[in-house]
Amino acid sequence: MKEENQKENRKSSRRQFLKKGLIAGAGVVAGGSLIGAIVNKNKPDSGEKVTALTTTGELIEVDKAQIRSPRVSISESHNGIPGRKFVMVIDLAKCKNARKCVDSCQKGHHLPKDQEFMKVYFLQDSDKSAPYWFPKPCFHCDNPLCVSVCPVGATFKRSDGIVLIDTERCIGCKFCMTGCPYSTRVFAWKEYPEFKEDKEQYSPEASSPGKEGTVAKCDFCPDLVRIGKLPYCAQNCPMGVIYFGDIDEDTVTNGNETLKFSELIRDRAGYRYLEVLGTRPSVYYLPPVERQFPVDSGFNGLEESIKARYKNTPYGKNHKL
Amino acid sequence: MEQSASKEALLQKFAPQIEKTSFLASIWIIFLLCIIGVGVYAFICQVTQGHIVTGMRDNVVWGIYIVNFIFFMGMSYAGAIISGALHLFRTEWRKPIIRMAEYLAIISLLIGPGYILLCIGRLDRLYYLALFGRIQSPITWDVIAISTDIFGCLIFLYLSILRDIANLRDFKELKVPQWRKKLYSFLSLGYTGTPEQEKRLRRATDIMAAMVIAIAIIVYSVLAWIFSVTLQPGWHSTIFGPYFVIAAVYSGTGVLILTMYVFRKAYHLEHFVTRKHFVAMGVVMVVLAALFGYFTFSDYLTKWYGSEKNDESLIKILFSQYYWSFIFSNYIGVLVPLLVVGIPKLRTIPNITFSALIVVVALWFNRYLIVIPTLESPYLPIQDSRPEYLLYSGTWVEYALMAAGVALFCLLFTLASKFVPVINVSEMSDAPRDQREEGLFNTEESLL
Amino acid sequence: MKTIKSPIFIILLTVLLTNITILDAQEKKDTVTSIVPTISFSYLNLSNDSIVLTANLFVKKDQGVFAIQNAVIEFIAKGGNESKKIGQAITDDEGNAIIKVYAKTGLPLDKEGKSIFTAKFSTKGKYLSASESISAKQAKLSVNFSKVDSVRYILVTATQVDSKGMIKPIGKIPVTINVPRLFTPLKIGEITLEEDGTGKFEYPGNIVGDSVGNIIVIAKIEENDLFGNVQGQSSISWGIPKQYYLAEMPTRELWTPIAPLWMIVTLITMLTGVWAHYIYAIIQLVFIKRSSRPKKL
């Protein structure tokens, strides 16, 4: 059983790799693509010549999950990635609270355990309606109340739709936290040791290293997007729940499948959460129809402390979690 | 001259307050300083260890600090509105208590904003508010409004103590150090009471009284808008502006009555601050109690009747885990003054003071119930966060700083009363406008 | 010599033997600490006579995948008995070593026209050697467009070179039609080519292109046992011009850096009103001060 799993994993990773190869190739031919630019740097002109790059001889291991673009400066981070408008689609039918989105995001952003940019809710809209898992990143609203209420312009919206926080500017008044109706923002209540893990220069695009007394939140990982990688949550979801893409290009992808955004939303009746509030989110949800597994399988294999977080849900109360 | 004679007599009476600090008063001041010292220690803890020492967490991001901020600012606006209105309407019974209202306005205005500073994560970047201020943010409105208000209240206070400062300067028997005399002389601006000076002072005071009322209403509405511009169920209410103003004046009236009671006892002002004044303020308090009850009822009734999902969950919380504080703040806090002052037989000074105390505490809880339960019932239910993040309860740091604020309030009031008498000497010595010279000191005279 | 049986020799021998066993043990320890890297190798024929070979060198540990950077990867092509080094590249921070080979430079071919490509990493430091091979036959995909009675078609042709050097069509092969996108290409259709190596796909018409409507259409043969990955492409202006959602960032919204005009006007009006009164009151005080002077003098 276990062996089979492993085999499958290997297979799928191989397939993923082959696909990545294809993407890289596409990049080379497309020429203008971001990925192409990255790949090209090692590419010789002809097969006869050997790459001119000198090697230091030192082999370095690099955590693949952590590779991202060099960090842009704070002032540069105010400009969006040109010609893009990012959108996320979350397929509730596939989510079973594997929590890889949460973990990889925390690792990628050097977050302490208390701070989560991505949260997975267990919602049940009414007594008789069905419960479902609800991963919640920042919605990067097009009418962001958090940005409106910020007294010092520490949080800002860019031309690519991403709402970022500059923790060098933030005074920590927490008004944005009360302004956000989706409880998306988190506060650095103390100097967490995890903040010190990140030795690189601070950039709002990376939301790292964190700073005591300031607000932080999900940033749609523009530092990954710049090198053509999906945000941590989308990259690492084993179920392919999270799709990410450019809404102007009408395409979203979860890494394995690439779909037309408009068709996906049309066919699956995609919606935005709490549309009534007029915040105009950039995150769409696909309703949890035709689920592939029972909803309570989301409790399997959870740490006790994580399980305890769902005690207060209607389901948790009924089943004495 | 009869007028100056009575002024002299009054000054004679109030001089001991200013001249020396009694043993009891010294103990009192040291006691207050100790409490403030604990507060300073708590503040140092918060600065060095971070906001983790407070009970605030990601869901309830504003706690007792903001409650105290609203509370003290409310007292200030109440002081401003009461003193401004009493002045403008030339109410005869205002004279002995108007100074206290003015002190109340400025002292609580100096303490209140401190609480919002305690809430700020990076105090070292406070000047960013001026450097990068965004006009769209209600916090910016608040910063502008509060600083404008502080200036206004200081000018108004100065205008109203000017004559007393001049009196103190001219009162040769006053046994105070030379520097204090010099200070009085400097601050009095050479006011001697010439008709022209009197006219100008009156004109300026009238203008400032009107301004102080207007600003107090605007500023407290701005404070209310900090809450009501957000989309949080429980805050997103159009009624919040006027509701906050009424609640502010209501609680401030209570504090003023308490102040009157304390100073009456401490400085033996039984002759000046009489039952009549308590009843008068009590009647004001009753009117405000009715208004406050009306606003509270309107706010919660509409929430409950419409019973939108999120409003409903808020009401549910208020009537379950906050049941007793809700009953206390919104029922007892309204009914007690209505009964005590409403029934003439019950209108004794201790009774009115007691109901004022109830009002003050009830209104503190009212603010607590506005801030915290709302943050505990956001649109997305609080889930997937650490258990200690779920519900709010203040820590010793927050309560220590709250106590320190109250102590500082008492200390500043004590010190202010030692600088210029808490009774407006010059106004007291002015001839009553209705020529009833006896009336002012007649304790038995009934109100209206 | 053969029969020296001096005790010294025996002692020497035992010392030597024990030494060897110790060395052996040390070597074993070394094997424990040395790391076995993995190469993941991909072949992509770009149809314009060039082939992109990508070797990805990585190690798996602590449940994570770590790329090995700065490693030299050697690429070898083999056909029949002939073997030829076609290049080498150094892995980047993602562990990728990529070379582009021109097919016309004479790749060694076997009888069926196939070549075996190998990516090789030689032992270095604690990393053991690794290699991975792919065999593929050269093929070509070309994309063309046609419009018949206002219906637009994407035409795909697949060809191969047989052992005699003749160009022959590839028939009955599945081909996907894609357009490149920000992250991964978007598949807009899938066809199986006819016997004659051609295929026709009706253009769906609702594909977003660049700002003037140009789109690149990529036809792909994916993971074919014989041909590997082959892709061919062409561009045309059939796309819907890309509409930029936030082409012009609003300037005077609540959330923009500059406030709405009414807000600024209201604020300035109110502040002017209030401070004018303050100044009036202060002027009165100044007059009071001034009027007291003559008396003092």
Check CB contact of B114 with chain A, cutoff 8 Å.
no
Check CB contact of C189 with chain A, cutoff 8 Å.
no
User: Which string of DSSP letters, residue by residue, matches A214-233?
Assistant: -EE-----HHHHTTTPPPHH
Residues C42, C133: one domain? yes
Q: How far apart are CA B398 and CA B392, in angstroms?
A: 12
Residue where one domain finishes, among candidates C118, C137, C156: C137
| C70, two tokens | 């700065």
Residues C161, C222: one domain? yes
Burial class for A75, CB neighbours closer than 10 Å (0-12, 13-18, 19+): exposed
Per-residue pLDDT, A315: 76
Element of type H or E holding B326: helix B323-327
Q: How far apart are CA A18 and CA C70, in angstroms?
A: 22
Residues C133, C152: one domain? no
Share of chain B above pLDDT 90, in %: 50
| B224, two tokens | 């209310």
**Which residues of C are less than 8 Å from B214 in CB distance?**
274
**Which residues of C are less than 8 Å from A51 in CB distance?**
87-90, 99
Question: pLDDT by residue (tens digit) across C37-76?
Answer: 899 998 998 888 888 999 999 988 877 788 888 888 999 9
Residues A176, A36: one domain? no
For an interface test with B, give the residue of A155, A174, A180, A272 to mutate (most B CBs within 10 A): A174
For an interface test with C, give the residue of B135, B199, B217, B231 to mutate (most C CBs within 10 A): B135
Task: Characterize the bridge pairing of strands C72-79 and C114-121.
Answer: antiparallel
Helices B275-306, B309-318: inter-axial angle, 10-degree rounding? 140
Most confident of the ranges A18-32, B301-315, B385-399, B428-442: B301-315
Residues C104, C171: one domain? no
Residues A137, A15: one domain? no
Check CB contact of C276 with chain B, cutoff 8 Å.
no
Per-residue pLDDT, C7: 54
Residues C100, C191: one domain? no
Check CB contact of A48 with chain C, cutoff 8 Å.
yes
Instruction: List domains and CATH numbers for chain B.
Output: 2-381+389-429 (1.20.1630.10)
Per-residue pLDDT, A316: 76
- Of A22, A47, A62, which is closest to C69 when you measure between CB atoms? A62
CATH of the domain at C148: 2.60.40.10
State mean pLDDT over B98-118: 91
For chain C, the 3-state helix, strand and coil shares in percent, each to the nearest 5, are 20, 45, 35
Report the amino acid identity of residue A272. R
- For chains B and C, CB pairs below 8 A equal 74
Number of domains in chain A: 2
Which SS3 state, helix, strand or coil, does residue A319 take? coil
DSSP code of A171? Answer: -
Residues C132, C177: one domain? no
Residues C130, C206: one domain? no
Report yes or no on A186 lying in a domain: yes
CATH of the domain at A218: 3.30.70.20
A295 Cβ contact partners less than 8 Å away, ≥ 6 residues apart: A96, A130, A131, A132, A133, A288, A315
Report yes or no on A194 lying in a domain: yes
The domain of C164 spans 139-236
**Which residues of B are less than 8 Å from C289 in CB distance?**
189-190
More confident residue, B392 or A21: B392
Cβ count near C182 (within 10 Å): 24
Residues C152, C82: one domain? no
Per-residue pLDDT, A54: 42
**Which residues of B are less than 8 Å from A123 in CB distance?**
380-381
- The dihedral sign for the CA sequence A273, A274, A277, A278: positive
**Which residues of C are less than 8 Å from B197 in CB distance?**
288, 291-292
Report yes or no on A122 lying in a domain: yes
Report yes or no on C123 lying in a domain: yes
**Which residues of A are less than 8 Å from C127 in CB distance?**
59
Task: Characterize the bridge pairing of strands A86-91 and A283-286.
Answer: parallel
Report yes or no on A68 lying in a domain: no
Report the amino acid identity of residue C131. S
Task: Characterize the bridge pairing of strands A163-165 and A155-157.
Answer: antiparallel
Contact C127 A59 (CB under 8 A): yes
More confident residue, B240 or B422: B240
Closest residue in B to C286 (Cα) is B189
Question: pLDDT by residue (tens digit) across B384-428?
Answer: 566 666 678 888 999 999 999 999 999 999 898 888 888 877 777
Report yes or no on A35 lying in a domain: yes
Nearest residue to A250 via CA among A266, A235, A236: A266
Residue where one domain finishes, among candidates C137, C160, C175: C137
Which SS3 state, helix, strand or coil, does residue A260 take? strand
Q: How far apart are CA C170 and CA C157, in angstroms?
A: 8
Here the ipTM equals: 0.87
Partner C, chain A 193-252, Cβ-Cβ below 8 Å: 225, 228-230, 244-251
Cβ count near A224 (within 10 Å): 24
The domain of A4 spans 1-44
Task: Characterize the bridge pairing of strands A86-91 and A242-246.
Answer: antiparallel
Residue where one domain finishes, among candidates C137, C166, C187: C137
Check CB contact of A153 with chain C, cutoff 8 Å.
yes
State mean pLDDT over A96-122: 90
Q: How far apart are CA C106 and CA A47, in angstroms?
A: 11
Report yes or no on C33 lying in a domain: no
Number of domains in chain C: 2
Phi, psi of C67 (to 5 degrees): -80, 145
Report yes or no on C211 lying in a domain: yes
Q: Return the minimum-mean-pLDDT range out of B138-142, B428-432, C287-291.
A: B428-432
Question: pLDDT by residue (tens digit) across B303-337?
Answer: 899 888 888 889 998 999 899 999 999 999 999 99
Q: Where are the alpha helices (DSSP H) in chain C?
A: 7-33, 261-296
- Of C254, C277, C293, which is closest to B190 when you measure between CB atoms? C293
Task: Tell me the nearest-neighbour CA distance from B237 into chain A, angstroms.
Answer: 14
For an interface test with C, give the residue of A10, A61, A85, A86 to mutate (most C CBs within 10 A): A61
pLDDT by 10s per residue, chain C, length 297? 444 455 555 555 555 555 544 444 444 444 557 888 899 998 998 888 888 999 999 988 877 788 888 888 999 988 888 888 888 888 888 889 998 888 776 788 888 778 899 999 988 888 888 889 998 888 889 999 999 888 999 999 999 877 677 788 888 899 999 999 999 999 999 999 999 989 999 998 889 998 888 999 999 998 888 888 999 999 999 999 988 876 567 788 888 888 999 999 999 999 999 999 999 999 999 988 888 765 444
Q: How far is CA B252 from CA A102, B86, B218, B355, C255, in A?
A: 48, 14, 16, 13, 36
Q: How far apart are CA B49 and CA B43, in angstroms?
A: 10
Count of alpha carbons within 13 Å of B88, Cβ hemisphere only?
16
**Which residues of B are less than 8 Å from A95 in CB distance?**
none
C116 Cβ contact partners less than 8 Å away, ≥ 6 residues apart: C77, C78, C79, C133, C134, C135
For chain B, the 3-state helix, strand and coil shares in percent, each to the nearest 5, are 75, 0, 25
Task: Tell me the nearest-neighbour CA distance from B55 into chain A, angstroms.
Answer: 10
**Which residues of A are less than 8 Å from C67 in CB distance?**
61-64, 67
Which SS3 state, helix, strand or coil, does residue C16 take? helix
Per-residue pLDDT, B389: 63
Report yes or no on C268 lying in a domain: no
End-to-end CA distance of chain B: 31
Residues C111, C152: one domain? no
Look up the pTM and report it. Answer: 0.84
Report yes or no on A178 lying in a domain: yes
Q: How far apart are CA C49 and CA C45, in angstroms?
A: 8
User: Which string of DSSP letters, residue by residue, matches A24-62?
Assistant: HHHHHHH-SSHHHHHHHTT--SSSSSPP-PPP-S--EEE
Q: How far apart are CA A234 and CA A65, in angstroms?
A: 12
Report yes or no on A18 lying in a domain: yes
Nearest residue to B223 via CA among B148, B299, B139, B292: B139
Check CB contact of C64 with chain A, cutoff 8 Å.
yes
Residues A232, A178: one domain? yes
Residues A90, A223: one domain? yes
Residues A121, A14: one domain? no
Residues A149, A290: one domain? yes
State mean pLDDT over A245-268: 93
